[in-house]
């Protein structure tokens, strides 16, 4: 009999983890919609060559059809390696930073940032445990109403741009009001988050393996004078009707800026680019209804001391 029971005990471990799902779940009460679908987070980035700092500026654009205000957003600033300390005194910051006053929430792999906002005393900002830059308008009535926009939300970073995950937050105050009208213990259906998940330009820890060379030149080091975080191919299908595209170009450390040129369907657009060696830039170009060709070229110095020219043609193909 001993063996019998011990055998049974061994089976317990294998089956144990499904136990939580065994109890019948009570029927939840549906929460009111907080839809902010169609809202956008616009982003631009500039580079301060003197300080070697990128300045990311964000604007919340609330869709007219929103059912509640947009109260803020989060942008992924996770990195690949540790960055200690997380506070960089070279970066401008006008918000209270929990890292200095309470405790650091974020992992050390978050990219150090400065945060500058229009009304710091009326916002909750910082870096979250999930390594996101967090901008929240937390005073009642400060949210961005349907059909309105609000800007001036800035991240400063020494890390170059790339399209990164971002999320716009709906005002959840109506949920708090709604739930308080029900007795304690009531279960609510909150399976729909109503956050708008999108992409925005944000600091990124460069990964050589993820930068696209643009194709073309040999040797490989010449082909790295111009590289791209976006696009990842030199022939890029784009949705029909798309009118703009943001190219994120990384300039090699040994390029000669004076030799840089850019044309869009044959038209010189060189002035739109500021090719600072070793920096990156996001440039938004117009996409026509037909095929659009962006040609970039720059000369640089090879490790041998010789010179080479990297020329890339990025072709956008409306589908």
Tally of residues, the chain: 319
Cα 139–chain centre separation: 25
25 near other proteins, rule: CB under 8 A: yes
18 near other proteins, rule: CB under 8 A: yes
- Residue of 50, 84, 89, 184 interacting with other proteins (CB under 8 A): 184
108 near other proteins, rule: CB under 8 A: no
Instruction: Show contacts with other proteins in window 79-98 (CB under 8 A).
Output: 96, 98
- Residue of 52, 122, 129, 235 interacting with other proteins (CB under 8 A): 129
- Residue of 173, 199, 263, 313 interacting with other proteins (CB under 8 A): 173
**Binding segment (CB under 8 A) for other proteins, from list 181-189, 227-235, 247-255, 296-304:** 181-189
244 near other proteins, rule: CB under 8 A: no
101 near other proteins, rule: CB under 8 A: yes
Minimum CB distance to other proteins, residue 307 (Å):
50
**Binding segment (CB under 8 A) for other proteins, from list 4-12, 82-90, 238-246, 307-315:** 4-12
For 139, other C-beta atoms within 10 Å of its C-beta total 13
4 near other proteins, rule: CB under 8 A: yes
| Cβ atoms 135, 200 nearer than 8 A | no
- Taking every pair of Cα atoms in the chain, the longest distance, rounded to a whole number of angstroms, is 89
5 near other proteins, rule: CB under 8 A: yes
Q: Whose CA is closest to 190, among 207, 214, 202, 174?
A: 174
191 near other proteins, rule: CB under 8 A: no
Q: Whose CA is closest to 137, among 73, 93, 194, 72?
A: 72
- DSSP secondary structure string for all residues of 8-63: HHHHHHHHGGGGGGGSPPPPPEEPPP---TT-EEEEEEEEETTTTEEEEEEEEE--
- Residue of 84, 89, 180, 319 interacting with other proteins (CB under 8 A): 180
Minimum CB distance to other proteins, residue 178 (Å):
8
Q: Which is nearer to other proteins, 99 or 221 (CB)?
A: 99
Minimum CB distance to other proteins, residue 234 (Å):
38
**Binding segment (CB under 8 A) for other proteins, from list 12-20, 49-57, 232-240, 245-253:** 12-20
Minimum CB distance to other proteins, residue 261 (Å):
46
199 near other proteins, rule: CB under 8 A: no
What tokens appear for 210 in the block? 């993820």
Q: Report the alpha-carbon distance of residue 89 to residue 114 in Å, rounded.
A: 9
103 near other proteins, rule: CB under 8 A: yes
Q: Which is nearer to other proteins, 67 or 313 (CB)?
A: 67
Q: Which is nearer to other proteins, 26 or 239 (CB)?
A: 26
Q: Whose CA is closest to 312, among 295, 298, 299?
A: 295
Interface ranges with other proteins (CB under 8 A): 1-9, 11-20, 22-26, 31, 96, 98, 101-103, 105, 124, 126, 128-130, 134, 136, 138, 140, 172-173, 175-176, 179-180, 182-188, 190
């Amino acid at each position: 009999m001993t063996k019998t029971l011990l055998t049974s005990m061994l089976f317990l471990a294998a089956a144990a983890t499904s136990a939580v799902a065994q109890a019948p779940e009570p029927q939840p009460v549906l929460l009111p919609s907080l839809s902010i679908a169609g809202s956008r987070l616009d982003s631009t980035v500039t580079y301060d060559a003197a300080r070697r700092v990128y300045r990311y500026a964000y604007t919340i654009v609330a869709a007219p059809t929103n059912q509640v205000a947009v109260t803020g957003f989060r942008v992924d600033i996770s990195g690949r390696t540790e960055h200690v300390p997380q506070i960089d005194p070279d970066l401008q910051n006008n918000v209270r930073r929990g890292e200095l006053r309470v405790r650091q929430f974020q992992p050390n792999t978050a990219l150090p940032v400065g945060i500058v906002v229009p009304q710091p005393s009326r916002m909750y900002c910082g870096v979250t445990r999930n390594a996101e830059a967090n901008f929240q308008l937390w005073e009642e009535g400060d949210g961005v109403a349907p059909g309105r926009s609000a800007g001036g939300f800035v991240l400063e970073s020494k890390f170059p741009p790339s399209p990164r995950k971002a999320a716009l937050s709906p005002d959840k105050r109506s949920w708090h009001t709604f739930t308080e009208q029900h007795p304690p213990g009531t279960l609510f259906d909150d399976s729909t988050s109503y956050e708008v998940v999108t992409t925005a330009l944000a600091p990124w820890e460069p990964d050589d393996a993820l930068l696209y060379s643009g194709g073309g030149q040999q040797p490989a080091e010449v082909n790295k004078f111009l590289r791209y975080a976006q696009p990842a191919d030199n022939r890029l299908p784009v949705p029909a009707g798309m009118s703009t595209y943001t190219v994120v170009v990384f300039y090699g450390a040994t390029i000669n800026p004076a030799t840089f040129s850019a044309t869009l369907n044959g038209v010189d657009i060189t002035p739109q680019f500021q090719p600072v060696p070793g920096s990156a830039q996001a440039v938004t170009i117009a996409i026509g209804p037909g095929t659009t060709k962006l040609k970039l070229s720059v000369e640089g110095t090879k490790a041998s001391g010789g010179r080479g020219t990297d020329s890339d043609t990025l072709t956008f193909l409306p589908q």
